[in-house]
Structure 1
């Protein structure tokens, strides 16, 4: 596994709990949460999340407790210093990003611009 770097992005306790629950439901402790950035969305870029096992050779791995967040170097430049949380409310449940690099975000929090 690539070296683990824990200072670029924080995972909240709620996010850690959700990742653990998902890996238990899927009966696969090798699953990791990947976050990446795509162009598009109402504010320019969108946050994307996927669970997967694969770690690419240039990925950055962030660990909290016994869960892992993986991110590619290009996406990291947009998210450096951010925090990943998991919320459940009347609008639904989702991972959300608190991004100090975002100049503007959309109302739902799924997209941003720099």
Structure 2
């Protein structure tokens, strides 16, 4: 169990580290955010960023940094970030105990 209210799997940590090497910038952080839209109401977003905003939640673990804005964090609290590779492709996914429903692709949810 993570000491943070958001668990990041070893597979996700390893993929983030690999992305930082590919981008040739070990100072980048993975931003996880939620926007309106998607087939279930909200959708997850992931992007690499250099800077932390004043109100961001900043998680440092296993040599990587994750940043989440406070509004998105309230929907992610207690969840898990994982990374999968399968026949459909590869992607970060969120296992979210707060979601009432999710779409088939796993990128959107409703509360």
Question: What range is the shorter-chain TM-score in?
Answer: over 0.9
- 2:47 alignment counterpart: 50
Structure 2 spans left out of the alignment, 5+ residues: none
Counterpart-to-counterpart distance in 2, 1:63 and 1:113: 28
Cα root mean square deviation, aligned: 0.7
1:98 CA displacement: 0.2
TM-score (norm 1): 0.93
Q: Determine which of 79, 91, 111 is the counterpart of 2:88.
A: 91
Aligned positions, number: 109
1:76 CA displacement: 0.4
Residue correspondence of structure 1 range 1-114 to structure 2 within 5 A? 6-114=3-111
- 1:3 alignment counterpart: none
1:54 CA displacement: 0.9
TM-score (norm 2): 0.96
Q: Which runs of 4+ in 1 moved over 2 A?
A: none
Structure 1 spans left out of the alignment, 5+ residues: 1-5
